[in-house]
Amino acid sequence: MAAPYAHAAADAVRAPDASVPTSAEPPARSGRLALLALGVGSFAIGTGEFVIMGLLPDAARDLAISIPEAGHLISAYALGVVIGAPLLAVLGARWPRRNLLVALMAVFAAGNLASAMAPAYLSMLVARLLTGFPHGTYFGVAALVAAGLVPRERRAQAVGLVMLGLTSATLVGVPIAATVGTWLGWRSAFVIVGALGALTALLVWHCVPFVPADRHASPLRELSALRRKQVWLTLGIGAIGFGGMFSVFSYIKPTMLELAHMPAAGIPVVLALFGVGMVAGNLAGARLADKALMPTIGGVLVWTALVLGAFTFTAPHAWLAAANVLLVGTVVALGPALQIRLMDVAGDAQALAAALNHSAFNLANALGAWLGGVTIAAGYGWTSTGWVGLLLALGGLAIYAWSVLDMDRRGAAATA
C-alpha cells in the first residue's frame, strides 16, 4: 500500500510561512472564518447547479424551446464540471491555493451573470457549460485548504463543513432562488447566484490564510495522479456507488405523484426531507470518516444498497416513500470520506485527485439518471429506479473490495 499522505496541505508543510499559522494549531476564530468562507462558496455552487431544475418551464418559454431541450442546460453544466475539474486543477497547479479559489469563484460569478443575460438558447448552453468549469476544482482545492486548517484527525469534519454549504443549498438556497426566479423572472435566480459567487471571492480573499505555492508543483506532477491505481479505484467507487442516489432522486416527483398518489402540494415536503437527509448524512459521514476511513466507505455503500433497495417496496406508499427519501439523502455521507481517501492515495498530485472526485460524482449523476430512465422506458415501472440504485451500490461495493484487496496485497509485498 502506498504510504498515506502526511498532510492535506502539502505546500504548507513544504514551504511554511511565519505569518501563517501551522495547520496543526490554527487560531480557532480565523480557522472558523476560513471554513465559513469556503462553505459560502459551496452554498453558491450548490444553488447555481440545482436552481435551474425548478425553473425549466420558465426558461424554456423565454428561450422558445421545449422543456426537454431546456433540460440540456443541466447536462451542459454537468459536462462543464467533468471537463473543467481536471483541466483547471492541472493549469492551476503553480498557483497559491487562496488565489486559485478566488479566481475560480470569479469565473463562476461571471458565468452565472452571463447566464442571466444570455439572449438565446445557444449562448445559454455555452454559458452553462463554462459556468460548470470551476465547480470541481473549487471543491477539490477548498477541501485541501480546509483539511490543512485542522489537525489530521479532523480532516473529514473540516471537509464536511465545506460540503455543508452544498447540502444546505438544497434546503435554503435553491428554494429561495427559485421563488425569486418565479416572482422576478428566471434570470434573476442566476443574478443571485452570481452575487453569491462574488461574495465568496471577497470572503476567501480576506478570511483564508495565504500560503505560497509549492515551488515543486507543476502540471506534470498533478498528472502523476492518473498513474495511481488506488486513485482510479476511489474515483470508481464514487462514479458507480454514488449513482444509485441519482437513479431514485431524478424521478422522485413523477414516482410520488403517479405511483404513491401523493398530492402535488406534498412534493416540496419530500424534497425538503431529501435535503435534511443530505445535511445529516454529510455531517455524520464526515465524523465517522475521521474515526475509521475505509470502514466508513464500506459501511456507507452497504447502507446505500439497503435504503435504495427498500425504495422498491416503499415507493407505492406516500409516507413510507417520503421517509425513505430522507434516508436516500443520507447517502451523501460518502462524499467527505472519498475526498479524504483521495488525499491519502494521490501522493503529490493532490489538487487533480481532489477535483476529479467531483467529476466522478457528476458522472454518477449522469449514469444514475440515465439507467433509471432506461428501466422506466423499458416498462419496468417507477419502482425499478430502486433496483438500479441497489445494483449500482453493489457495483461500488465491489470496487471498494477490489481497493481493499489491492491495499492488502501491496502491504504484503512491501513486508516481504
Q: For residue 217, what pLDDT is reported? A: 67
Alpha carbon distances (Å) from 132 to 84, 285, 358:
7, 26, 11
Q: Note whether 108 and 44 are within 8 A (CB).
A: yes
CA dihedral 94, 95, 98, 101 (to 10 degrees): -110
Domains and CATH numbers, the chain: 28-215 (1.20.1250.20), 218-416 (1.20.1250.20)
15 has a pLDDT exceeding 60: no
Q: How many alpha carbons lie under 13 Å from residue 175 in its C-beta half-sphere?
A: 11
pLDDT in tens, 153-196: 899 999 999 999 988 888 888 888 888 888 898 999 999 999 99
Alpha carbon distances (Å) from 270 to 88, 116, 147, 267, 322:
36, 29, 33, 5, 6
Distance from C-alpha of 82 to C-alpha of 133, rounded to nearest angstrom:
8
Mean pLDDT of 293-302: 96
First-to-last CA distance in the chain?
A: 13
Q: Which set of grid coordinates corresponds to residue 167?
A: 447540502
Distance from C-alpha of 376 to C-alpha of 378, rounded to nearest angstrom:
5
Rg of the chain on CA atoms, in Å: 21
pTM of the model: 0.80
How many helices and strands, by DSSP H and E, does the chain display? 19, 0
Distance from C-alpha of 216 to C-alpha of 325, rounded to nearest angstrom:
46
Q: For residue 10, what pLDDT is reported? A: 38
pLDDT in tens, 240-278: 999 999 889 888 888 898 899 999 888 888 888 998 999
Instruction: Tell me the pLDDT band of 416, cut-offs 50, 70 and 90.
Output: low
Which residues are CB-contacts of 190 (< 8 A; sequence separation ≥ 6)? Answer: 48, 51, 112, 113, 115, 116
Which residues are CB-contacts of 370 (< 8 A; sequence separation ≥ 6)? Answer: none
